[in-house]
Every structure is written in structure tokens, then in C-alpha cells.
């Protein structure tokens, strides 16, 4: 989600909730996996339908408070695990028929307001950015990687035009001065010539958050493993908040739902051989009403696909396509 803080807002608002419900139709019952439980916005709505059951995951241990209350209230209809969603295929589901698997990517309003996490450029204190179940912090990244490595993270994960300049300034400054959240914001500001519509630090903070939380491999393996456990007829629904996430989700669904030929001299294979049927060609975005009520939903895009059949080795293509991003993430080996 966008990191701008709106002081009048107090709690997280689930994004595109009505649209999600109309896609997954919990009124007819079934088991749903909420991969990004957060404040339980989607889960609570699904559980309002008495024939439904929810299995929820979230990497942030803070989610346990809300999930414990739901476990008491709903008993066997609700089950929570404090795990990353790439772990989804390790859940012991006993051959359960899953209706839909839902991902609402990024972070919640509650997390960005948590100053200890340091996700916002309005935070003060040490660089952190860990969402939960992490191996290193943003401080480790800023202090231990070299100029080229930082530049790559800023460029590819943040689409930051001034990545080179900012990386150089960090390297120069980090020996002499402690770089905490506000010092990083100052370095970014001093590298920029003009005023921007969004906060100047948005892209650098996004890139560090993606790197610290390994969000690229989480998303890619989350999608791959979700697809593996889903039976034909099941749906994968994803809400993204920035173009890099959306690019990955769009490619994944599209590449596995298109007619393909093995070579240009061979006929295209039948559509029945596709793994997915795309639910919506254009992404679903928040209505004017939702935007008015929750401006933080403004960059949300929803895509969904229905699994048609099991296909072997389907993950090859996405891994090849986004290998350059996974390699950048692998720079964390040095930390």
C-alpha cells in the first residue's frame, strides 16, 4: 500500500472487499485461504457466511492477537498460522478442496503506523522494515552492501531514477554518520533536483522493503505453490499495490492461460491445455466510492484466474522471466 499517512484514519480498511466477495462467493460455502490475514478484514467477512471455512496466514506475529480471538469465536471454521505465504504448499490440508486462495499484498495501515517497524519515511529511529520472519533489516542492507548492489536494489525494486546518486551518497555518509530513517530521507532529498508529487523517499523505501522482506520470491513462490495445491475450478485472487507486483501477477496468469505453440512451425496447442482461465482481462480497481472512503486504496489492482487443469513444470516460464529480480534478491547472501 502507499505509505502516505492520513492522520484522520485510525485503522486498516480492507481494500476491494465487495469485489473479492463477489468473485469467491462464500455464501455457497467452501474453504478459503487468506494468505495475508493482516487485521482479518477479508477473513471476518468470509466467516460471516456460515458454510464457509478460512485458513489464514500472515508473517507478522502481531496478527496472532486478532487471529486468536477469531479462533475462539469460530472454532473449527478458522485456522491461523504465523507463516510466510510461500509456505502454503507445506500446510497439511488433507486433500481439502480449496475454493479460493487470496493475496492482498504489501502491508497494512496498522503496520505502517507501527514506528518500530520503520516502514514509513515518517518514522524516526533505526532502519528496520521487517514485516515478520526476516533474516536481516534495512540497516544491514544500507551498511553492508556496496554501491552497485544498493543501486540495483533502488533501480529494479523501486524504479528510482536517481539510484546511482543516492547509492553513492549512502556509501560516503555511512562511515561518518549514523544512517537512521530520517537521515536516509535527508540523503534522498539532497539527491533530488525538483519537487515531486509523491514523497521523494517513496521509491527508495519501497525498494528496501521489497528487498528486506524478499517480496519478489515470496510472490513468485506464493503463486506457484498456491497453484500446485489448488484443484481445477479453484481461484487465485491477487490485489497488488505497485507496478512490479502487478507485472509479475499479470505475466503469471497470462502466460499460463494463452494458447502457445512449441515452435513457430507447429500449430498452437488447444486452449483446453491451459492451466488457467483469466477471470478479468483488465484489472479491477477501486470504485469512486471506495476511493472517497479510503484514499489508501488508490493504487490497488485486482486480478484473478480460475485453475482449469493440472499442468506439469508450469513454473519454468515465470522463474526464467523474473530471474533477474530473484538474482538481485539473492544479494542478501552477503548479509
Ligand X SMILES: C[S@@+](CC[C@H](N)C(=O)[O-])C[C@H]1O[C@@H](n2cnc3c(N)ncnc32)[C@H](O)[C@@H]1O
- Partners of 301 in the β-ladder: 240
163 forms part of the interface with ligand X (CB under 6 A): no
85 forms part of the interface with ligand X (CB under 6 A): yes
26 forms part of the interface with ligand X (CB under 6 A): no
42 forms part of the interface with ligand X (CB under 6 A): yes
Give the residue from 150, 151, 147 showing the smallest Cα distance to 161: 151
211 forms part of the interface with ligand X (CB under 6 A): no
Count interface residues toward ligand X (CB under 6 A).
Answer: 24
57 forms part of the interface with ligand X (CB under 6 A): yes
Look up cell 486462495; give the residue: 101
Q: Could you tell me the smallest distance in angstroms from the CB atom of residue 44 to ligand X?
A: 8
Which of 36, 52, 99, 128 is the binder for ligand X (CB under 6 A)? 36
107 forms part of the interface with ligand X (CB under 6 A): yes
Q: What cell does 3 get?
A: 505509505
| 10 three-state secondary structure | coil
The residue whose Cβ lies closest to ligand X is 41
Under 8 Å between Cβ of 131 and 118: no
12 forms part of the interface with ligand X (CB under 6 A): yes
59 forms part of the interface with ligand X (CB under 6 A): yes
Q: Could you tell me the smallest distance in angstroms from the CB atom of residue 17 to ligand X?
A: 7
Question: Which residues neighbour 176 within 8 Å (Cβ) at sequence distance 6 or greater?
Answer: none
Give the interface segment with ligand X, choosing from 38-46, 139-147, 182-190, 325-333 (CB under 6 A): 38-46
Helical segments of 4-40, H only: 17-24
158 forms part of the interface with ligand X (CB under 6 A): no
Distance of CA 277 to the CA centre of its chain: 22
152 forms part of the interface with ligand X (CB under 6 A): no
d(CA 66, CA 116): 19
Give the residue with the Cβ less far from ligand X, 80 or 156: 80
Q: Could you tell me the smallest distance in angstroms from the CB atom of residue 196 to ligand X?
A: 24
Q: What cell does 160 get?
A: 528510482
Q: Could you tell me the smallest distance in angstroms from the CB atom of residue 75 to ligand X?
A: 21
DSSP 57-107: E-S-TTHHHHHHHHHHHHGGGEEEE-S-GGGGGGS--TT--EEEEEEE-S-
| 275 three-state secondary structure | coil
User: Cα dist. 157→113, 172, 186, 204 in Å?
Assistant: 22, 22, 20, 8
19 forms part of the interface with ligand X (CB under 6 A): no
| 159 three-state secondary structure | coil
191 forms part of the interface with ligand X (CB under 6 A): no
Q: Could you tell me the smallest distance in angstroms from the CB atom of residue 153 to ligand X?
A: 18
Which residues here bind ligand X, judged by CB under 6 A? 1, 12, 14, 36, 38-42, 57-60, 63, 84-85, 104, 106-108, 111, 131-132, 218
Amino acid at each position: 500500500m502507499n505509505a502516505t499517512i492520513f492522520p484522520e484514519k485510525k485503522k486498516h480498511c480492507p481494500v476491494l472487499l465487495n469485489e473479492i466477495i463477489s468473485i469467491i462467493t462464500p455464501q455457497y460455502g467452501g474453504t478459503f485461504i487468506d494468505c495475508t490475514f493482516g487485521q482479518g478484514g477479508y477473513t471476518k467477512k468470509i466467516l460471516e457466511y456460515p458454510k464457509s471455512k478460512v485458513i489464514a496466514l500472515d508473517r507478522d506475529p502481531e496478527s496472532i492477537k486478532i487471529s486468536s480471538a477469531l479462533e475462539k469465536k469460530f472454532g473449527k471454521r478458522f485456522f491461523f498460522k504465523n507463516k510466510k505465504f510461500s509456505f502454503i504448499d507445506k500446510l497439511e490440508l488433507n486433500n481439502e478442496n480449496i475454493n479460493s486462495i487470496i493475496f492482498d499484498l504489501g502491508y497494512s495501515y496498522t503496520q505502517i503506523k507501527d514506528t518500530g517497524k520503520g516502514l514509513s519515511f515518517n518514522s524516526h529511529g533505526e532502519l528496520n522494515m521487517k514485516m515478520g520472519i526476516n533474516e536481516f533489516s534495512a540497516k544491514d542492507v544500507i551498511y553492508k552492501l556496496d554501491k552497485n548492489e544498493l543501486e540495483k536494489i533502488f533501480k529494479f525494486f523501486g524504479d528510482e531514477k536517481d539510484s546511482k546518486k543516492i547509492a553513492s551518497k549512502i556509501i560516503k555518509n555511512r562511515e561518518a554518520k549514523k544512517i537512521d530513517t530520517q537521515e536516509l530521507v535527508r540523503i534522498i532529498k539532497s539527491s533530488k533536483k525538483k519537487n515531486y508529487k509523491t514523497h521523494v523517499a517513496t521509491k527508495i523505501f519501497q525498494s528496501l522493503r521489497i528487498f528486506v522482506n524478499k517480496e519478489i520470491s515470496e510472490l513468485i513462490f506464493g503463486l506457484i505453490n498456491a497453484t500446485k495445491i489448488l484443484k481445477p475450478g479453484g481461484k487465485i485472487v491477487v490485489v497488488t499495490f505497485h507496478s512490479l507486483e502487478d507485472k509479475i501477477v499479470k505475466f503469471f496468469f497470462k502466460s499460463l492461460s494463452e494458447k502457445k505453440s512449441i515452435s513457430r512451425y507447429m500449430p498452437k496447442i488447444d486452449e483446453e491445455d491451459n492451466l488457467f482461465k483469466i477471470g478479468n482481462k483488465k484489472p479491477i480497481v477501486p470504485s469512486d466510492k471506495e476511493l472517497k472512503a479510503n484514499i489508501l486504496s488508490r493504487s490497488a489492482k485486482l486480478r484473478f484466474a480460475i485453475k482449469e487443469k493440472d499442468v506439469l513444470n508450469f513454473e519454468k516460464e515465470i522463474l526464467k522471466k523474473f530471474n533477474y529480480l530473484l538474482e538481485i534478491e539473492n544479494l542478501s547472501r552477503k548479509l
